[in-house]
Amino acid sequence: MPLALLALAVAAFGIGTTEFVIMGLLPDVAGDLHVSIPHAGLLITGYALGVVFGAPILAVATANMPRKATLLGMTLMFILGNVLCALAPTYAALMGARVITALCHGAFFGIGSVVAAGLVAPNKRAQAIALMFTGLTLANVLGVPLGTALGQVAGWRSTFWAVAVIGVIAVIAQMIWLPKEIPMEKGNLVTEFRVLGKTNVLLALAMSAMASTSLFSVFTYIAPILRDVTGVSPHGITIMLLLFGLGLTGGSMLGGKLADSRLLPSLVWMSIAVVLIVALFSQTSHAVIPAALTLVVWGVVAFALCPILQLLIIDQASDAPNLGSTLNQSAFNLGNAAGAWVGGLVVASGTDLADLPWTGAACAVLTLMTALFYIYLQKRQANAVNV
């Protein structure tokens, strides 16, 4: 099934690019639409909230639709959203188009994860999810810098036209390579929402949100950290972000292999690794080479958690895997918004940028503590069953 997974990865690449490329285009968008940079920055928040609230609604609405048709529909919505972004005459129109694009984001990754896991042998499920998410990590490595460069040369609207073309390629790939009949279980509203009452599901979602908060509380401000603390030039910052993106890609594949072999131990050890490496960044950020090495390792351990947590939620929400998996994307984006907000509060308080990673480390400690509590509950439940 590699070609089927590749088709999902192509769509993930396009979706990831359109989510993050706006960060590099903010000055161009703000100038063209006559709004301030902070006002334009709300386009990022609006997208994240669109994922948080729209994804579970679409997951429930499409619960009984054929999986291939659902994924194709999500990708067509993605294309429509990017075309509307490219044509948006006003800031309000662009915000609306971004929200439309965001609606398909969480649902596509949520349902796509379940489909990817179902296309392979049981002991390869996390690796299949990781392969799909490789499209998302490559979006950060290639899509965002190339999209930003295109927007700076040909105008920010050209970037959204280019991403829409990627969407068309993804549709064609899915039509050709995804199986016509993908096994699925019929769902209903009661079953779908009953999953929200399961403690294990809520703890898994909390871990995703906190892991994302840890990442984005620091990464949102990575450019000023590299510029003002490390002393990196604008061109050097691009190279450093490329290194981080390579770490993300490697981490996604590593997490897939670890999750398929030892899911819960891998969750704990990767959580510990994130705490240590983010805390270390507060020291290594003062010099270029140590900072670069730390960024690579941070990218690896941070994104190794993604397939681990995605598979965990699919297993725990087995009665409603599509909603559970989609809610995990909502949790991740909620953490994205929360991390940027928390990091902003810390910076606004006058904290030195070099000390900001301690905030990320503190959030990662919460992820670790939740993981340990989750394992404790699992063991207690198992003991109760044996008794």
What secondary structure does DSSP assign to 199-223, as a single string? HHHHHHHHHHHHHHHHHHHHHTTHH
Q: Give the CATH superfamily of 185-387.
A: MFS general substrate transporter like domains (1.20.1250.20)
- The position carrying tokens 């984001």 is 105
Q: Annotate 232-300 with DSSP letters as a single string.
A: --HHHHHHHHHHHHHHHHHHHHHHHHHHHH-HHHHHHHHHHHHHHHHHHHHHHTTSHHHHHHHHHHHHH
The CATH number that domain 1-181 falls under is 1.20.1250.20
| pLDDT tens-place values along the chain, 387 residues long | 578 889 999 999 999 888 878 877 877 888 899 988 667 777 877 888 888 888 788 877 887 788 899 999 999 999 999 999 999 999 999 999 999 898 888 888 888 888 888 888 888 887 888 888 788 878 877 888 888 888 888 999 999 999 999 999 999 999 999 988 777 666 555 666 676 778 888 999 999 999 999 998 888 788 788 888 999 887 788 788 888 888 888 888 898 888 888 888 999 999 999 999 999 999 999 999 999 999 999 999 998 998 899 888 888 877 777 777 788 888 888 888 788 888 888 888 888 889 999 999 999 999 999 999 999 998 888 777 665
Please report, for the chain, the start and end positions of each structural domain, with discontinuous segments joined by +. Answer: 1-181, 185-387
What is the per-residue pLDDT across 70-80, written as a single tens digit (0 to 9) for each? Answer: 999 999 999 99
Question: Is the CB of residue 82 less than 8 Å from the CB of residue 167?
Answer: yes
Give yes or no on whether 1-181 and 185-387 have one common fold.
yes
What is the per-residue pLDDT across 176-223, written as a single tens digit (0 to 9) for each? Answer: 999 887 776 665 556 666 767 788 889 999 999 999 999 988 887 887
Measured distance between the N- and C-terminal CA atoms of the chain, rounded to whole angstroms: 42
**Token digits of residue 281:** 């960044």
Look at residue 185 in the predicted model and tell me its pLDDT.
Answer: 65
